[in-house]
Amino acid sequence: MANNHEFTRLALLASDTERAEDAEAELREAHDWVPLDEAEAVVVLGGDGFMLQTLHQMLDADRVIPAYGINLGTVGFLMNKHRSAANVLARIKKSRSIAIAPLRMEATTQDGQHHNFCAINEVSLLRETRQTAKIEVSVEDKVRIKELVCDGVLVSTPAGSTAYNLSANGPILPLDSNLLALTPISAFRPRRWRGAILPDRSAIRFRVLEPEKRPVSAVADQKELRNIAEVSLRIAREAELTLLFDPGHSLDDRIVAEQFVV
């Protein structure tokens, strides 16, 4: 929805690229910035990867504030266009808030260790060796595929549906769809299975079969675990994030536009 944001304490973070650092130097002179832990919102300079890194940093610190990204990377799907530094504060004031909820991954490795990570884009399970993976797929405690033979499988949020999910021929999901994409990666059996679209209230579980012969890793955005035994996934409503977009350039607009790229 459209907002009239009156943030008075803003933080500024930049990736370590030359373009982002040049923009940071220009913006430093345009406003009095505060540290991230004192800010009401943060301006993020870089690409999608740095934005994800920043959002995860806030999740790990258990202090989430709105983030306004300026694209100084490659794709910039989560970012706004780079323009003059002089009008950044006015753009933030007029920006539109979009709420996104990450996936919560609870993973168990073969040695019995338990791990808990959030993924804003997707969680993917991937084979570690030349051997194809064999994975049991359950939804709401019901086994839906007894043996998925594949290079891997992923679950994507709407915010991440145009990333790895799209490259794996998964569906693009509107941001307000309340859906998840369950997408196989180079599936060999069942041969005709193309994946599934699930309500985002669904609990999804993967169990690795023949793990000694066919080891599998799990990746939650940028965090990887190896030698996985089992992974459970659900939407983490309690960890909801807020992105700020210029009017006419919001994430849901981009998701629609991406479906007409030829």
CATH number at residue 161: 2.60.200.30
Whether residue 134 is found in the same domain as residue 213: yes
Whether residue 86 is found in the same domain as residue 137: no
Backbone angles phi, psi at 206, to 5 degrees: -115, 135
Average pLDDT, whole number, for the chain? 92
Whether residue 144 is found in the same domain as residue 219: yes
Confidence of residue 77 (pLDDT cuts 50, 70, 90): confident
Considering the candidates 48, 62, 176, 246, report the single residue annotated as catalytic. Answer: 48
Task: Please determine, for residue 192, whether its predicted confidence score (pLDDT) is greater than 90.
Answer: no
In the chain, what are the helix, strand and coil shares in percent, each to the nearest 5? 20, 40, 40
In this prediction, what percent of the chain has a pLDDT beyond 70? 95
Q: Is 79 domain-assigned?
A: yes
Task: Please determine, for residue 5, whether its predicted confidence score (pLDDT) is greater than 80.
Answer: no
DSSP states of 38-98: G-SEEEEEE-HHHHHHHHHHHHHHT----EEEEE-SS--TTSBPP--GGGHHHHHHH-EEE
12 is in an annotated binding site: no
Q: Is 37 domain-assigned?
A: yes
Whether residue 231 is found in the same domain as residue 120: yes
162 is in an annotated binding site: yes
> Quick one: which H or E segment has residue 22?
helix 18-28
Q: Is 96 domain-assigned?
A: yes
Structure confidence by residue, pLDDT tens digits, 135-169: 999 999 999 999 999 999 999 999 899 899 999 99
Structure confidence by residue, pLDDT tens digits, 194-204: 999 999 999 99
180 is in an annotated binding site: no
Whether residue 112 is found in the same domain as residue 159: yes
Q: Is 2 domain-assigned?
A: no
Q: Is 119 domain-assigned?
A: yes
Whether residue 109 is found in the same domain as residue 178: yes
Range of the domain at 63: 10-101+240-258
* Range in 18-32, 38-52, 144-158 the model is least confident about: 18-32
Considering only residues 73 and 244, tell me which one the structure prediction assigns the higher pLDDT: 244
Backbone angles phi, psi at 131, to 5 degrees: -75, 135
pTM score: 0.86
Q: Is 164 domain-assigned?
A: yes
Whether residue 17 is found in the same domain as residue 70: yes
87 is in an annotated binding site: no
Q: Is 4 domain-assigned?
A: no
136 is in an annotated binding site: no
Considering only residues 36 and 258, tell me which one the structure prediction assigns the higher pLDDT: 36
User: 123 has which bridge partners?
Assistant: 155, 220
CATH classification at residue 25: 3.40.50.10330
The confidence score (pLDDT) of residue 176 equals 81
49 is in an annotated binding site: yes
Q: Catalytic residue at 48?
A: yes
Whether residue 224 is found in the same domain as residue 244: no
Whether residue 126 is found in the same domain as residue 81: no
In this prediction, what percent of the chain has a pLDDT beyond 90? 76
How many domains in the chain?
2
Whether residue 45 is found in the same domain as residue 108: no
Confidence of residue 80 (pLDDT cuts 50, 70, 90): very high
Which residue from 23, 2, 226 is spatially nearest to 127, judged by alpha carbons? 226
The confidence score (pLDDT) of residue 262 equals 62
Structure confidence by residue, pLDDT tens digits, 212-262: 999 999 999 989 999 999 999 999 999 999 999 988 766 677 777 777 766
CA distances from 171 to 96, 138, 191, 209, 237 (A): 25, 20, 18, 27, 22
Whether residue 92 is found in the same domain as residue 215: no
Whether residue 31 is found in the same domain as residue 146: no
User: 62 has which bridge partners?
Assistant: none
Give the pair of three-digit tokens for residue 161: 């549906």
User: Please, which residues have CB within 8 angstroms of residue 81's CB and are 6 or more apart in sequence?
Assistant: 70, 71, 246, 249
The confidence score (pLDDT) of residue 248 equals 74
Task: Please determine, for residue 88, whether its predicted confidence score (pLDDT) is greater than 60.
Answer: yes
The residue assigned the tokens 């769809």 is: 177
Considering only residues 55 and 255, tell me which one the structure prediction assigns the higher pLDDT: 55
Rounded to an integer, what distance in angstroms lies between the CA atom of residue 19 and that of residue 27?
12
Yes or no: say if 246 and 94 are a contact pair by the CB < 8 Å rule: yes
